[in-house]
Amino acid sequence: MPELRKNPLTDEWVIIATERAKRPEDFQKKTAKLPEEQERVDTCPFCVGNEKMTPPETFAFREKETSANSPGWRVRIVPNKFPAQEIHEVIIETPSHSKSIANLLPQEAEEVILAYQQRYLAAEANSKIKQITIFRNHGLTTGASKLHPHSQLIAVPVLSQKFRNQEKNATDYWQKQGKCLYCVLAKEEIEKKERIILSTPYFTAFTPYASQSPFEVWIFPTRHQHSFGNISAEETKDLAKILPQILFKFYSKLDNPDYNYIIHSYFENTADKQAKHWFLQILPRLTPIGGYELGSGIFINIVKPEAAAEFLRLQATGCKPQVAGKEE
């Protein structure tokens, strides 16, 4: 029988449709073509050497004695040329056109996360801003308009209803239980083990009980902390290993599926911040979103989160640099 499960963070329902369930292996598209290696594309505004094709950079990690808006950068941030909002920035994660974050070395991924933090804090300092979303669209079905590896930050002067609900649930739980809902959830997952992908001193990665799509993953920081802006140096280093490891698993085991990831975070001056906890959500796009999902707000997931976790499970040790296509 299909099973209804509720997401405790948002109160959203999902249907885990076990009858039409696919085995995780069925998502391996045997004939899928991985993107060709291409270091540089003349017409790509995010490629090295094409810096003049974007608005001037707002931040970059670069080699010493190289000047802004010229080659020599490792991570580069520019305002979006066609902004959806007043603050809309593009985080260009690597000068290389076809490298994915799944293939970045930990020290390269670390600079991407540090760049996220830097721009998050800069956006938060703007008193008009109420909600900041850092996200990554990977693949053309996810809303990405360019293939060059990049993430985005959009900051808006309003709070969405979805975000309000998430805040309210956290606050209600705190008021009733005197505990953080996210800390409790992570603890329960670690005890149960069945949905854990990886657990380190700093993070717990698991497939949520009410995953809305096959292979959805949440990465919760172990330290109770409301804001991603406060991520520590050790946490950054750890996340820079975990995130590429999980994405590399997608890349190698599920043949580079499209996905989105989103950093959910609460402001420094948020009310009841002891009730809140930032986290990172990864949503692969392996099945289409249909009319039922759009009309009802209820997602149908055809892979059990427990099976997905088993398929994605990683060893906590051995965070070695990985080369595309060479895992296992």
The residues that bridge with 307 in the sheet, in sequence order, are: none
Token pair in block for residue 222: 């172990």
- Cβ–Cβ < 8 Å for 69, 50: no
End-to-end CA distance of the chain: 35
Work out how close the CB of 131 gets to Zn ion at its nearest, in angstroms, rounded to a whole number. 20
Contact with Zn ion (CB under 5 A) among 21, 44, 68, 262: 44
Work out how close the CB of 290 gets to Zn ion at its nearest, in angstroms, rounded to a whole number. 33
If the CB atoms of residues 44 and 190 are measured against Zn ion, the closer one turns out to be 44
Binders of Zn ion in range 202-241 (CB under 5 A): 224
Work out how close the CB of 85 gets to Zn ion at its nearest, in angstroms, rounded to a whole number. 24
Contact with Zn ion (CB under 5 A) among 74, 76, 97, 195: 97
- Beta-carbon count within 10 A of 311 CB: 20
If the CB atoms of residues 9 and 16 are measured against Zn ion, the closer one turns out to be 9
User: 154: closest CA among 89, 77, 91, 59?
Assistant: 89
Q: How many residues bind Zn ion (CB under 5 A)?
A: 11
Contact with Zn ion (CB under 5 A) among 74, 136, 138, 148: 148
What mask, x for binding Zn ion by CB under 5 A, covers residues 267 to 306?
Answer: ----------x-----------------------------
Half-sphere exposure of 160 (CA within 13 A, CB side): 12
Q: Does 262 bind Zn ion (CB under 5 A)?
A: no
Work out how close the CB of 122 gets to Zn ion at its nearest, in angstroms, rounded to a whole number. 25
Using CA atoms, how far residue 285 sits from 181, 282, 327, in Å, is 27, 10, 22
Work out how close the CB of 108 gets to Zn ion at its nearest, in angstroms, rounded to a whole number. 16
What's the rounded Cα separation, in Å, for the pair 96 and 113? 17
- Cβ–Cβ < 8 Å for 87, 134: no
What's the rounded Cα separation, in Å, for the pair 1 and 113? 42
Contact with Zn ion (CB under 5 A) among 27, 59, 173, 182: 182
Provide the binding-site residues for Zn ion, judged by CB under 5 A: 41, 44, 46-47, 97, 148, 180, 182-183, 224, 277
